[in-house]
Amino acid sequence: MSWPDWIVLALTLLGMIAYGLYKGRTSRDLDGYFLSNRMVPWYMVLLGIMGTQASAVTFLSAPGQAYTDGMRFVQYYFGLPLAMIVLCVSFVPVFRRLKIYTAYEYLEQRFDLRTRALTSGLFLLQRGLSTGISIAAPSIILSSLLGWNIFWANIIMGGLLIIYTVTGGAKAVAYTQQLQMIIIFGGMTVAGFMVIHRLPAGVGLSDVLHIGGKAGKLNIITTGIRPGGGGFDWNDRYNLFSGIIGGFFLALSYFGTDQSQVGRYLTARSLTESRLGLLLNGLVKVPMQFLILLLGVLVFAFYQFNREPVFFNQSQLDLLAHSKYKDSLVWLTHQYETTETSRLAAAPSIAANAATPADRSRAAARLLAAEQQKTGYKATVRRWLDDKEVGGDSNDTNYIFLRFVTDYLPIGLVGLLIAVIVLAAWGSIAATLNSLSSCTIVDFHRRFSRRPMSTEKEYQLSRLYTLLWGVFCIAMAQLAYNIGNSLIEAVNVLGSMFYGVILGIFLVAFYRKKTGGKAVFISAVVVEAAVIFFTVLSRQGIVKLSFLWFNVVGAVGVVLFSELLQLFMKRKTV
Partner 1 sequence: MDQEPGEKVPLFKKWSRWYVLVAGFLLLNILLFYFLTKHFS
Min dist. Cβ of residue 80 to partner 1 (A) = 9
Tell which residue, 559, 38, 560, 564, has the closest CA to residue 253.
559
Alpha carbon distance 444, 423 (integer Å): 31
Do 221 and 240 contact (CB within 8 A), yes or no?
yes
- Our finding on whether 368 is near partner 1 (CB under 8 A) is no
Alpha carbon distance 136, 159 (integer Å): 12
Alpha carbon distance 159, 152 (integer Å): 9
- Please identify, among the stretches 6-14, 25-33, 213-221, 531-539, the one whose residues bind partner 1 according to the rule CB under 8 A: 213-221
Cα distances (angstroms) measured from residue 217 to each of 74, 159, 198, 296, 358: 12, 37, 20, 9, 19
Min dist. Cβ of residue 192 to partner 1 (A) = 17
Do 510 and 90 contact (CB within 8 A), yes or no?
yes
Residue 283: partners with Cβ closer than 8 Å, 6 or more residues away: 81
- Our finding on whether 287 is near partner 1 (CB under 8 A) is yes
| Helix, coil or strand: residue 544 | coil
Site string for partner 1, 246-275 (x = CB under 8 A): ------------------------xxx--x
Cβ proximity to partner 1: between 124 and 195 the closer is: 195
Cβ proximity to partner 1: between 149 and 270 the closer is: 270
Tell which residue, 232, 218, 190, has the closest CA to residue 66.
218
The string of DSSP codes covering 175-198 is HHHHHHHHHHHHHHHHHHHHHHHT
Among 276, 320, 347, 524, binds partner 1 (CB under 8 A): 276
Do 110 and 519 contact (CB within 8 A), yes or no?
no
Cβ proximity to partner 1: between 209 and 354 the closer is: 209
- Judged by CB under 8 A, the number of residues near partner 1 is 31
- Our finding on whether 219 is near partner 1 (CB under 8 A) is yes
Cβ proximity to partner 1: between 266 and 419 the closer is: 266
Tell which residue, 374, 336, 362, 396, has the closest CA to residue 211.
362
Min dist. Cβ of residue 235 to partner 1 (A) = 21
Among 290, 303, 408, 444, binds partner 1 (CB under 8 A): 290
- Our finding on whether 48 is near partner 1 (CB under 8 A) is no
- Our finding on whether 88 is near partner 1 (CB under 8 A) is yes
- Our finding on whether 62 is near partner 1 (CB under 8 A) is no
- Side-chain half-sphere exposure of 298, counting CA atoms within 13 A: 25
- Our finding on whether 218 is near partner 1 (CB under 8 A) is yes
- Our finding on whether 81 is near partner 1 (CB under 8 A) is yes
CA Rg value for the chain: 25
Within positions 151 to 190, which residues make up the interface with partner 1, using CB under 8 A?
Answer: none
- Our finding on whether 209 is near partner 1 (CB under 8 A) is yes
Cβ proximity to partner 1: between 214 and 343 the closer is: 214
Binding site for partner 1 (CB under 8 A): 74, 78, 81-82, 84-85, 88-89, 93, 209-210, 212-214, 216, 218-221, 240, 270-272, 275-276, 279, 282-283, 286-287, 290
